[in-house]
Structure 1
Amino acid sequence: MSMQLLPRPPRGALRVAALCTALVLTACGSGSDAPRHDPPPTAGTPTTPAFGSDSFFDYVAARVYSLIDDGEPEATDGVTATTPEDTEPKPVG
């Protein structure tokens, strides 16, 4: 049984075939006639609620900001811990 080799394609034929294939694929990429649906307009930019005053948080934040690395710890037992329900949490840092 003899194996025949296929004839070699002309020089550059594979490049031309690849280019034509790419051209055909890009030409049919978005040919839909369906109408575009834009998202409904929003009522406005939502505003973030104002941060309420929390005396415990303010005390601890002031103490932390004034600490030196070798400062002594201080007890927070004398400050009443508050848990306000009508305010958003404050960012730390």
Structure 2
Amino acid sequence: MTKKIIVITTDEEIEGFNIIKAILRQKLEVNRIIARDTQSYFGVLLDDNNRKPLCRLHFNAKQKYLGLMDANKNETRHPISSVDDIFNYSEQLLTTVTFYE
């Protein structure tokens, strides 16, 4: 018997996603920015494509992290104390878009 994996999307993840969409709207149409929640992180993708990760929210532990991607799609986790801290990474988020456009 296989164990069913339950993924719960929190209000805080939705709030973080909305902040990310607000930042990325400067370069992208909002309908191209897609959320995909997994058991270990909340992913934000371009065009609902796993090969185009924009960032990841790691909010399932006491310490929250914003995972930003480099040109090689390697993730670097940055500790944040609240979702509002995402705004401090606006430039890096906008740069990530240039890796795919």
**Length-normalised TM-score, structure 1:** 0.25
Larger RCO (CA under 8 A, 6+ residues apart)? 1
TM-score (norm 2): 0.23
